[in-house]
Structures are given as C-alpha cells and as structure tokens.
Amino acid sequence: MSGVVVYLPQGSGGVDGVEPCGDAVTLRLGPGEVARFGRGSASTPVELRLADAAISRLAGEIRVTDDHWQLTNHSTTHSYLVENPEGAGEYLRVPPRRVGAPVPFEFSRVVLPTRGDVPVSFQVFAPDHVYLDPEAMGVPWGSRTVTAYSLDETATYFLVLVALCEPRLRDQSRVAVPTTPQIVERLRGHATCGTPTARAISSHIDYLAEEKLRIAVPDTHDPGKGDRRNGKREEIVGLALRFGLVREEHLALLPPLAGGGGRERQTAR
C-alpha cells in the first residue's frame, strides 16, 4: 500500500505574513501516519504550514487508514470543505471539532475559509482504493479477490490511459505512443473533462506510472527528460495492454473520431 500523497501548492506556506510564502510541498503518508496542518508556531509544529490569519495554528490533521484517509477539524468555529475535483460538484463539509471524518474520494481538495478573496486549499491523492475483481463477484467476502491495479474507469486519468493505448488497440501495431499535445486534442470537448491542459495530462501520466501502475522506468544511458517521459509512456501502454487493463470496449469512453473512417478498426477480421 502506498498510502496517500498530500500536495500544497506554491505560495500557500508561510506564517502570519511574517515569513515569505514557501515552495510547493509534497508529503507521502503511509497507513497510520498523520500530517497536521495550520499556521503553526515554534510550540505547535505542523507538516503543512498555511498562511492566513483566519487559520488556526493547529487547524486539523490528516490520518491515513489503509486505502483511504480521515480528516480531523480542530477549529471551534469554521467548517472545512473536501471537494471532489472530478465529481459533479461533490463535496463533504467537515464541521468544527469533527474527529476522523472518512473521505471517500480518490482525488480531494481540502478548502479552508480565509480572510482573503481566495480560500487556502491543498490536495490529497488516495491511489490505493480497492476494487473487486469483476470475475469474482458473488463469492463469500473472505474468499473475494481484489484487482492488482486499482483503476477507476470513471476518472480522468483512466481516459488519459485509454487515449495512450488507443492507437495500438485500433491498429494492433507498434505505432508511436501519443504525445501530450495529441492527447489534449484527442480529449478536446469530452463531456466530463472538457479540454485538459498539457500540464494536467502530464500530471495524470505521472500519477498512472508512479501511483496506480507502480512503474519504474530505468535511466539507461542517462537519457534526457523527453526520453524518460517517452519511456514512461511506453511502459504504461505496454503494461495496460498486456494485462488487459484497457480493452477495445474502453474506446467508447473517448470522444468520437473526426473523419476517422481510415483509423477505425475493422469489425471483420
């Protein structure tokens, strides 16, 4: 189990406006580990320091429990929101003094009220959500089999994975894996994700490789950044197709191909 990843964007750190806003912070927490957040002080250390006078020195904490995480709100006056960025406006409200509220989202944005125009927020990724093997449904719980790779087929990262695999699924050949601009164009106008940015696509690819599929791309011959990224994409596509994580029926999740008569796979073989 890889636990959860907590990401605090650049410019959210610092204390009471005395210290400069800090760099982005990324924390990796395993099951049973805790990260506290708030303004912090010498006597109240926190792992995530948030810069706003309306935020308590110890505002709350994140505790990892197996495949999900819990949020404790130490504020006596303010509720916190946990938003699902990939949902249709889904969110949880964690009231003051609530202890260990379980968060069911794989992707979450924790939002704290502030005195400024923009609330302070940070993100939590929980990649270890467990799914039952569809072939093992209906058997007693103690004998059930879970999937080796926990992929949510409704998530944007899965759309990116399907787009990466699409050329080889359609042509059954060793064609080049799509580039980031090609994936942006392929997903343009999708009903749920709209048109993602190149940065978002790259983040989803990193998330797939590092958290969902647990791929380690070797640094052979000291390749450059572009070579490493291409190698990572190749590894992602190869694993997804070898183990049947992406199949032909998943192509229906993508927008229709424009004028794709020549690219569409032949139904008769």
Task: Please report whether residue 165 resides in a domain.
Answer: yes
Number of structural domains found in the chain = 2
For the chain, how big is the Rg over CA atoms in Å?
21
Closest CA to 7 of 152, 260, 203: 203
pLDDT tens column, 242-259? 999 999 999 999 998 876
Structural domain including 212 reads 156-253
Are residues 119 and 25 part of one domain?
Answer: yes
Which pLDDT score, from 0 to 100, does residue 36 have? 97
Burial pattern 61-84, b for ≥16 Cβ within 10 A else e, equals: bbbbeebbbbbbbbbeebebbbbb
Please check whether residue 209 is in contact with residue 201, taking contact to mean a CB–CB distance below 8 angstroms.
no
Pairing, β 48-49 against β 34-38: parallel
Residues 40 and 121 in one domain: yes
Tell me whether residue 219 is in a domain. yes
65 within a domain of the structure (yes/no): yes
CATH number at residue 46: 2.60.200.20
Element (DSSP H or E) covering residue 101: strand 101-103
Does a structural domain hold residue 21? Answer: yes
In a domain, 147, yes or no: no
Residue 264 in domain: no
What's the pLDDT at 179? 94
Are residues 91 and 164 located together in one domain of the fold?
no
Residue 31 shares a structural domain with residue 79: yes
- The verdict on 97 and 201 lying in the same domain is no
| pLDDT value of residue 132 | 72
Question: Could you tell me which residues come within 8 angstroms of residue 62 by beta carbon, excluding any fewer than 6 positions away?
Answer: 4, 6, 29, 34, 35, 36, 37, 69, 70, 71, 72, 124
269 in any annotated domain: no
Residues 94-127 have pLDDT tens digits of 999 999 999 999 999 999 998 878 889 999 999 8
Q: Locate 215 and state its tokens.
A: 């791929």
Q: Which residues of the chain have pLDDT under 70?
A: 1-2, 11-22, 133-146, 172, 217-229, 259-269
Please check whether residue 66 lies inside any domain of the structure: yes
| Separation between Cα atoms, residue 25 and residue 71, nearest integer Å | 19
